[in-house]
Each structure stands twice: as C-alpha cells, then as structure tokens.
Structure 1
Amino acid sequence: MSSTVTFYITRHGETLLNHLHKAQGWVDSPLTERGIQAASQLGLQLKNVQFSAAFSSDTNRALQTGKTILTAQGQNELQVITDKRLREWCLGCWEAENNDKFISSMMNELQIQNDFSELNFRLPEVQEIIYKSDTTGMVEPFHMITDRLERFLKDTGDNFIHLNNPSILIVTHAFAIKTLLYLFSKEMLRKKPKIKNVDIITIKWDGKSFSILT
C-alpha cells in the first residue's frame, strides 16, 4: 500500500520588520506579540494533525514560530529542525527597504501597471532584478532557490515516506512559498497573490511528484 507525505507549509508569524512594512529576506527580526499569538492560533487549528517531524529555516523568526505552533498544538516535545534550504530569498541591497518602495520599483522595472499578482507570474524576472542590483554578493539566482527548496522537499519526503502517510510541519517565508507555488501550481498564485503571516499551504509527495492541495 503506497504512502504519501503531507507537508504543512506556513509562513512565520508577524515580525518587527513586517510590522514596520520593511522588506525582509535574510535579515532577521523578532516576532511581535501579535505574531506569537497568530502562531499559537495556527497551532490550535492544527491540533488534530499528528506531525512526524517539524522543520524551519535557520532564521529565529521561523524557528520561534515553529516552536510556538507545536506548543499550542500539543506536540512541544517534537524538536523543530532548522535547515538553511528553507531560507527566504536574499534581497541583497533591498533588505529592510520600505515594502511599498520595493514593490513599486519591481513593478516599474517590469512595466507592470497596478497588478500586484502579475509579479508572482514573473518571479524569475523579479529575482533577476534583485540579483543584478546586488552589491553584497549574497543573492542567489532563481534556479539556486528553486533547487534548494525542491531538494529539501524531496529529501525530507523520501526520508519519511516509509511511515504511514506522515505529516510534516514546515515554517518558511513568503517568497519561498511563492516559489513553491510557482513550481508546482502556478494558478494558485492568482488565488493567493499575497502570502500573509501564518498562511498555510499543503503539498503532497507520493515519491514521484508534488501536488498542492490548498
């Protein structure tokens, strides 16, 4: 009988930089009280899910969100394992820039008129702008981001698929989640043009391919 792995993939709770409407990639900032409460609320919503494992990016905001979810959910004995493959995009010289300025600059560069969701369908081009304007040497090209995210899911899926239909909690970031939607279900980017704090998507892995459920 075949098993499938279900990944519950969420964005971290609200952070200080989110609250201040600043772009946040590899730069980290602590969760706000509101962010902690939202993570707890998500944990309560997931209380009927028995997780086999939990992972987060190696940022404190993602790790803290994962721990908060599991505490509220009733599985606080489960360790949240950090993996840098789950990191957000590095935004280079755009790190901590005003969000509106960042988005309007991307839309102007790509000649998009008042359609935020169009940015999602042109994610590789958005990343190319960030990559070309980078002065830090830290920004990854788009294919490196897709490779690390997909490799993480495949490796983790293969490690747990021998169990009976396991569920895995993953805490990552907005652009990272958009990248997964871009890879596996582009039309979902129209339904979810913005990935808000503690928004959650579910992805299944059957050992051969991924399918997005929500």
Structure 2
Amino acid sequence: MKTLNLYLVRHGQTYYNIFNKLQGWSNSPLTQKGIDGAKDIGQRLSKVPFAGAFCSDTGRAISTAEIILDANQVSQTNKPHSAPYFREEFYGYFEGTDINQAWYQAAGPHGLKSIGDIVEKYSFDTAKDFLKEADPFSMAEDHTEYWQRVDQGFELINSDPSLHDGDNVLVISHGNTLLSLMDRYANGRYDLSERPANGSLTRIKLVDGKIEVVDYNK
C-alpha cells in the first residue's frame, strides 16, 4: 500500500478573479495580491519536504507553484510538473464571460438562477452538464469528460516512480476543481457554498490511488 499526502493549493488571485470572469482553460496573470498570497502560503509550507510538485499548464498555476517552491527550505523539488490533466473545468463558449451571467444561462432552462441553485438542488456534476447544454458550441466539459481528464492527473501522481509511501506532494489547483473534489469525496463534511480562497490549502491523501479528504480551505 502506498499513501501520498497531497497539498492542494488554489492558485493566487488573478485579474479575471477580480473581474468575476470564468477562467477555466483561459488564463489571466496573477495580481500583486495574488503574488503576495502565493508567497504567504509558500511561507506556511516552507518546512514541508515535497517529493514532487504538479500543476496545470496555465500560467497562473505555474507561477503559483514556482513561488511556493522558491520559498521552500527543505525540498529538492524546485520545478513543477505541469500537465493539462490538472486544468480547471473547461467552460467552452463561456470562457472569459461574467460568472453570474454564464451560470444564469445554464440554470435558467431548469427553472433556476445560479450555480448555487444548481448545486443545492443537484450537484457540481449536474452544473457541468447544464453548462454544456447551454453552450452553443457544446464544447464545455460535462461531468464525464471532466472527471476522465482530472482522474488522469491523479493517476499520473500515483504512478510516478519517484514518489514513495508517505511522500508529500504539492499540487496547484483551481476553485471549481477543489469544490468538485469536495463534492465528490468529502461526504458532505463541508459547506461548499463557501468557495476556496485564492492561496488556500486543501489536503487529501492518495491511498493506492484512491482519494481521502483530510481538510479543506485552510
């Protein structure tokens, strides 16, 4: 049995976060507040020996990972392994649009008004499916497409031959990805109406590739 301790950090604040725009596979740079927030979590984790580091191939995730690793005093890992498996949900046509307007268009045909309404009545997986239905190009990820991709990311970590039982692994993640993970694996332990903060820490364990939630949004 191999257990890996994953430290999931939401990337630092970006300009799209300020402008309330959806940024899944699209990207905007870290703000100064985002850089400072990444430095803060870097200091919090500076004494954690990371055997590996992973992130999506978006600039905001790579920048956050590099800042955290630069602050680490006990790890030999100094560069993250970036891969598309770790990207945020793909919002298709709605990439870069106002968050409230996009989710209103997804929720409206079902008699609802927001992603909060969808999640309260159904789930985050259903929200993905509704957004794909509303996408005129049908390019947004539904929940099946999303999890097929994200699960490959966790398999990449679990199968990494350089990682051994008990190792700590840094993973830079994204807001809706963290919410989706909690929705799927935390068994209702957390109030998911509260979004994870930029620069926040969520911890999970990979036990022979299976996810166990330790804590959320610290």
Q: Which TM-score tier does this pair reach, normalised by the shorter chain? A: 0.7 to 0.9
- Counterparts of 1:114 and 1:179, CA distance in 2: 16
* Distance change >3 Å, CA 72–CA 111, structure 1 → 2: farther
* Distance change >3 Å, CA 150–CA 161, structure 1 → 2: farther
Map 1:71-110 → 2, pairs under 5 A: 71-74=70-73, 75=75, 78-110=78-110
- Report the alpha carbon displacement of residue 52 of structure 1 after superposing the two structures with TM: 0.5
- Structure 2 counterpart SS, 1:190: coil
The answer to whether the 8 A contact 2:179-2:192 is kept is no
Corresponding position of 1:55: 54
Corresponding position of 2:135: 134
Corresponding position of 1:13: 12
1:205 aligns with 2:206: yes
The answer to whether the 8 A contact 1:63-1:80 is kept is yes
- Counterparts of 1:41 and 1:88, CA distance in 2: 23
Corresponding position of 2:155: 154
* Distance change >3 Å, CA 123–CA 6, structure 1 → 2: same
Corresponding position of 1:176: 177
TM-score, normalised relative to structure 2: 0.86
- Return 5+ residue gaps in structure 1 as ranges: none
* Distance change >3 Å, CA 91–CA 68, structure 1 → 2: same
- Corresponding pairs, count: 213
Moved more, 12-21 or 102-111: 102-111
TM-score, normalised relative to structure 1: 0.87
- Structure 2 counterpart SS, 1:193: coil
Identity of aligned residues (%): 22
**What is the RMSD of the two structures over their aligned residues, measured on CA atoms?**
2.5
The answer to whether the 8 A contact 2:92-2:141 is kept is no
The answer to whether the 8 A contact 1:149-1:180 is kept is no
* Distance change >3 Å, CA 77–CA 123, structure 1 → 2: closer
- Report the alpha carbon displacement of residue 103 of structure 1 after superposing the two structures with TM: 3.9
